[in-house]
């Protein structure tokens, strides 16, 4: 059975909140995508939604990094061009970036980031 990006992201959030209760509020979703009616889509665009912005943000600094943007993908998923551009921009601005190909991959990368200094 194929695990969806949604399911992997939900699993990552649930794991993080249990594993790191003291900083559980530092990992949150950026609801930038999804199907919406035209009125809501227009409002969100006016409010600043941008194509390619990562799915999650981890508001924890480590070393020289200000925080970490996380883009979730299925195990065989691929980044879109806007996603690639956003991740590069985030790196240029001093943020760590993760592309998590499924829950286990994202979990390992988040753990590695949090262990780094």
Q: Which residues span the domain enclosing 31?
A: 5-115
Residue ranges of the alpha helices (H) in the chain?
5-19, 38-47, 81-92, 103-115
The whole-number pLDDT of residue 64 equals: 96
The DSSP secondary-structure symbol of 102 reads S
Q: What is the dihedral of CA 68, 69, 73, 78, to 10 degrees?
A: -110
How many domains are there within the chain?
1
Instruction: Render pLDDT for 16-68 as a digit per residue (tens, 0 to 9).
Output: 999 999 999 999 999 876 667 787 777 877 877 888 999 999 999 999 999 99
Residue 9 has pLDDT above 90, yes or no: yes
Convert the pLDDT of each residue in 70-99 to its tens digit: 999 999 999 999 999 999 999 999 999 999
Q: Mean pLDDT in the chain? A: 93
* Cβ neighbourhood burial of 11 (10 Å; 0-12, 13-18, 19+): middle
CA-CA distances (angstroms) from residue 81 to 40, 50, 58, 73, 87?
24, 13, 22, 14, 10
Q: Which CATH number do you get for residue 13?
A: 3.40.1350.10
């Amino acid at each position: 059975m194929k695990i969806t990006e949604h399911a992997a992201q939900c699993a990552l959030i649930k794991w993080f909140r249990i594993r790191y209760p003291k900083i559980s509020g530092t990992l949150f979703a950026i609801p930038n995508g999804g199907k919406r009616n035209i009125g809501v889509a227009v409002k969100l665009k006016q409010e600043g939604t941008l194509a390619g912005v990562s799915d999650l943000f981890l508001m924890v600094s480590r070393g020289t990094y200000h925080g970490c943007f996380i883009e979730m993908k299925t195990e065989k998923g691929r980044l879109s061009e806007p996603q690639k551009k956003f991740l590069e921009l985030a790196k240029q601005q001093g943020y760590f970036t993760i592309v998590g190909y499924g829950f286990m991959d994202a979990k390992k990368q988040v753990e590695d980031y949090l262990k780094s200094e």
